[in-house]
A and B are shown apart, each in its own frame.
Chain A
């Protein structure tokens, strides 16, 4: 199975290098195919690894440092970083871990990745820097796989940073657009903040355990240290998964090409935070408070994002906010301890959110890159296939049975209820409200864009692709994902059958406290489905038939449109002060003090030299005078001292 893991990791990197080296010697399209096939190979490797783990009957002890039996295997290529520290040796290998959790993630990343890369072949066709795009995207898949396969915390951080890098590269892919470049920088810097907090957490671990293998997460530290470590990791997770308070980069990231949004900012990278918490649940369980903070963050985010999504007019941004809000659900899940539920939602979300983005991409592609939903009314009539696919995704998103979202989302909310504590119920309420909002904004989008007569703008700008709604490379993946979004959820229905949970159990067992009873499950499902339907109904009433007028709440509307003023806040609190400080330092210290001190001293010395020159009058008598005076002085001194 490790062979599969290595293959899975190496293939996309190989693709990148191949594309870079070939450069302009290969046609543009070829780059796309190299990339696609490399990711396909990775998918094959992932399957190999998956069945490897599957066939591994008995749990065994793997090199975790701790003696807990696990399923899976740890494989090391070479020592990446090593240093003595005291009597111990701090050593980090370039090692991969194949266990149920990483196997699932590998499947998601490479599988969905493969579909999206294939989709990009059509989508990016004709862009004059296609090769660069595919090099980047294969590099992203590599980084993401490194993240999920990384066999120790440092390697996980490496993958963590590299996905951030490739996300930066892809967001800023159209680098002539200032907005794109800005968005890219923003994304990278905010992620760097997360990386920094993670690094700090690791420093604590190193200081106390001299190691960064996953095993050290279950060793016992003092409660403060545990909490600090957990907080550090949470910081990273929050930044990467665009949760409050580090969420502002995600909507801007929509500047990137749509497939990028689908792959990185919907299906895989942004969900890495969830994976991180699931992977490091041991430390979080030691610091339960922090874990609940994570859950709270999720709950808050899913509401805030839902509210903001209500007023967005850019089709991709609406979906982006829905992503934030769905990841909020996942955080809620893993936060309360229902790791498998969170991971399951991650899986289904990857399906339907990628689907939604790519369907949106079809639309954008067909109408000359117009993204404003107010102009796109009635495009569905011209693009039936896209329309139905999108509908499937939308229903899955809202969580209407039998679509996949229903199965995953509800069990999360249910496990919140399972806590039975006051905050448990708060989380539950948030979840249900979130379902309402989801229905509302999703179908606002739907009703605004797809049904009805095409608007003149659409008629004017719509152009099909050889009589189809898009290149087959784009339609096929959308189709496949539509099927997955529809039926993928049947993999597990918590009250009745739960293979997914039991599969993950060895790696991330659900906390007993977060295991809902069947009643809670049914009850919650009913609540959320009703909420979702209600949302849909309101959306229908408001945006389709105009039965209702939107209540005029200008303040609320402005709040939502300004995304609760987070950008303004950060600009005022962090960026401006830093820039101002730099300016002040330069004007007030660097120039006058640091750069000027030397020259000033020099000037003083030269002035002294000038004095000397004035003494040198050229008058012979002066010279004799100094000779005599000097002699007199020496004599005097000697007579005195003698």
Chain B
């Protein structure tokens, strides 16, 4: 007499694929001999993500009309599917990036434990992606919170997985504590919203607000504010961004690449969904709220990035500023804004991942943190990576080398449609400031005189990247990112169609 709800297994397909792969990878850790473990786990992870992409695409094609499944707790629609495609793609790229240099290897001085936690790393990668895949589809506050914690916890561990390095541990702890605080805020907010409306499902909330005229309800407003704060933390928007540079710098670069792209995608997509479906009647509040947060992010991110020398920090701050740009789209609170955000996310995630991947490559060949100084000459030694990097940073800067250009254009258009010329101006000025450090990276890679190329590493003096290991898979990953970021400039039409139907 217990009516368990019908579970749409296919609707959860991508997630199950990822979870399954995750478990398999975990099994590798114990079953597969150490020699083969890395390859096996990597292969499983790759296949898992591939399967995820495939299923997500199928899902996109199949679910033209969105609906909720499993007792209205999860959305099965193109929106979710699209998000899952992007996330799985990032995961796949991360796998490629990780294979040849898995975080958690510890230092090379101990060859006997070079494969420490290899399988676990891939398991966590898959698991966190699965969590995000859940996150973007969650249909009520509880699932939202749980899936958030799901991928957050996985990320905490991934950040700290290089625990022989103090920086990694520090990053992990900072992320954990700040993140838990943010989660607590979000949770309390959810509780208050629940208290105001008596339900936790997005649709229910909107319905209740409409029904009882709760638009200005104290608890509702309070909860909304706290939820925004919690999400703002995840998308690392100012002033909730402070953890970002430290964690991005401290975490293994592979993980950073994954976080900087995937987390933002998930957080922004979800924020858009929540605001749109659960709080449409309070848009007068959250549009302004997000506009303010966007402005703060643009100002803080760009200004702080100007004075950095560590490339990972620069990129971290730039990701803060880009959170600002995407929040402009979000704050427009219109269909155009949604499309703008959807579109922006594609080239952005590609560029963010790609740029960190390039940094990772440099880091691996030098063995020291990458700074503007020891980036000198990189462009000439590794032409492909160099070109890719300047495509990425110019794309970040909104120069027409990639989708970033059209993305900015879209965002501004959305802002103007919403009647916010001032926000357009802010964005424009922010872009102008950002040029300085983006150009700085290119300058470091190409324009420094040769004698600056000698860098000191703990392994003594090496001429920058004297004979770097050829990391084919890494280059493939970067190439993919490059293809996406450039391709999105030309394929604007189709991508927008995707977004429009989502």
Is there direct touching of A and B in the complex, by C-beta distance under 8 Å?
yes
Residue of B nearest to A625 (CB): B242
Residue of B nearest to A613 (CB): B307
Chain A residues contacting B218 (CB-CB under 8 Å) are 639, 642
Please tell me which stretch of A181-189, A283-291, A508-516, A614-622 contacts chain B, meaning at least 4 of its Cβ atoms lie within 8 angstroms of it. A614-622
Please tell me which stretch of B176-184, B259-267, B420-428 contacts chain A, meaning at least 4 of its Cβ atoms lie within 8 angstroms of it. B176-184
B225, A638: Cβ atoms closer than 8 Å: yes
Q: Among A606, A629, A638, A642, point to the contact of B306 (Cβ < 8 A).
A: A606
A610, B225: Cβ atoms closer than 8 Å: no
B185, A608: Cβ atoms closer than 8 Å: no
Residue of B nearest to A631 (CB): B229
B482 within 8 A of A: no
Q: Count contacts on B: residues with CB < 8 A to the other chain.
A: 40
Residue of A nearest to B308 (CB): A613
Chain A residues contacting B224 (CB-CB under 8 Å) are 638
B222, A639: Cβ atoms closer than 8 Å: yes
Chain A residues contacting B303 (CB-CB under 8 Å) are 605, 608-609, 611-612
Chain B residues contacting A635 (CB-CB under 8 Å) are 222, 225-226, 229
Given the interface contacts A609-B307, A618-B246, A635-B222, does A630 sit within 8 Å of B232 by beta carbon? yes
Chain A residues contacting B222 (CB-CB under 8 Å) are 635, 638-639
Residue of B nearest to A606 (CB): B306
Task: Annotate A331-359 by CB proximity to B: 1 below 8 A, 0 otherwise.
Answer: 00000000000000000000000000000
**Nearest CB of chain A from residue B107's CB, rounded to whole Å:** 24
**Nearest CB of chain A from residue B488's CB, rounded to whole Å:** 30
Q: Name which of A605, A631, A635 has the most chain B CB atoms within 10 A of its CB.
A: A631
A206 within 8 A of B: no
B69 within 8 A of A: no
Chain B residues contacting A523 (CB-CB under 8 Å) are none
Task: Annotate A588-621 by CB proximity to B: 1 below 8 A, 0 otherwise.
Answer: 0000000000000010011011111100101010
**Nearest CB of chain B from residue A612's CB, rounded to whole Å:** 4
Chain A residues contacting B245 (CB-CB under 8 Å) are 616
A631, B436: Cβ atoms closer than 8 Å: no
A623, B229: Cβ atoms closer than 8 Å: no
Q: Once the chains are docked, how many angstroms separate the CA of A606 from the CA of B433?
A: 10
Given the interface contacts A605-B433, A637-B289, A642-B221, does A631 sit within 8 Å of B307 by beta carbon? no
B483 within 8 A of A: no
A565 within 8 A of B: no
A622, B225: Cβ atoms closer than 8 Å: no
Do most interface residues of chain A lie in helix, strand or loop, or is the interface mixed? helix
Interface residues of B in 293-310 (CB under 8 A from A): 293, 300, 303-308
B47 within 8 A of A: no
B239, A630: Cβ atoms closer than 8 Å: yes
Task: Annotate B270-306 by CB proximity to A: 1 below 8 A, 0 otherwise.
Answer: 0000000000000011001100110000001001111
A624 within 8 A of B: yes
Given the interface contacts A618-B246, A620-B173, A623-B243, does A631 sit within 8 Å of B306 by beta carbon? no
Chain A residues contacting B174 (CB-CB under 8 Å) are 620, 623
Q: Once the chains are docked, how many angstroms separate the CA of A624 from the CA of B293?
A: 17
A457 within 8 A of B: no
Chain A residues contacting B305 (CB-CB under 8 Å) are 609
A423 within 8 A of B: no
Q: Once the chains are docked, how many angstroms separate the CA of A608 from the CA of B292?
A: 19
**Nearest CB of chain B from residue A640's CB, rounded to whole Å:** 10
Q: Name which of A610, A613, A634 has the most chain B CB atoms within 10 A of its CB.
A: A634
Q: Once the chains are docked, how many angstroms separate the CA of A631 from the CA of B186?
A: 10
B59 within 8 A of A: no
Chain A residues contacting B79 (CB-CB under 8 Å) are none
Q: Once the chains are docked, how many angstroms separate the CA of A642 from the CA of B436?
A: 39
A627, B304: Cβ atoms closer than 8 Å: no
Q: Once the chains are docked, how many angstroms separate the CA of A628 from the CA of B284?
A: 23
A549 within 8 A of B: no
Q: Among B177, B181, B228, B292, point to the contact of A628 (Cβ < 8 A).
A: B181
B289, A631: Cβ atoms closer than 8 Å: no
A624, B177: Cβ atoms closer than 8 Å: yes
B181, A634: Cβ atoms closer than 8 Å: no
Task: Annotate B162-178 by CB proximity to A: 1 below 8 A, 0 otherwise.
Answer: 00000000000110011
A629, B289: Cβ atoms closer than 8 Å: no
Residue of A nearest to B288 (CB): A641
**Nearest CB of chain A from residue B259's CB, rounded to whole Å:** 16
26 pairs of residues in contact across A and B, judged by CB atoms under 8 Å: A605-B303, A606-B307, A608-B303, A609-B303, A609-B304, A609-B305, A610-B307, A611-B303, A613-B304, A613-B307, A618-B246, A620-B177, A623-B178, A623-B242, A624-B178, A626-B240, A627-B182, A628-B185, A629-B239, A633-B239, A634-B289, A635-B222, A637-B289, A637-B292, A638-B224, A639-B221
B residues near A, CB below 8 A? 173-174, 177-178, 181-182, 185, 216, 218, 221-222, 224-226, 228-229, 232-233, 238-240, 242-243, 245-246, 284-285, 288-289, 292-293, 300, 303-308, 433, 436
4 tightest CB-CB pairs across the interface, nearest first?
A: A631-B229, A609-B306, A612-B304, A623-B242
A residues near B, CB below 8 A? 602, 605-606, 608-613, 616, 618, 620, 622-624, 626-631, 633-635, 637-639, 641-642
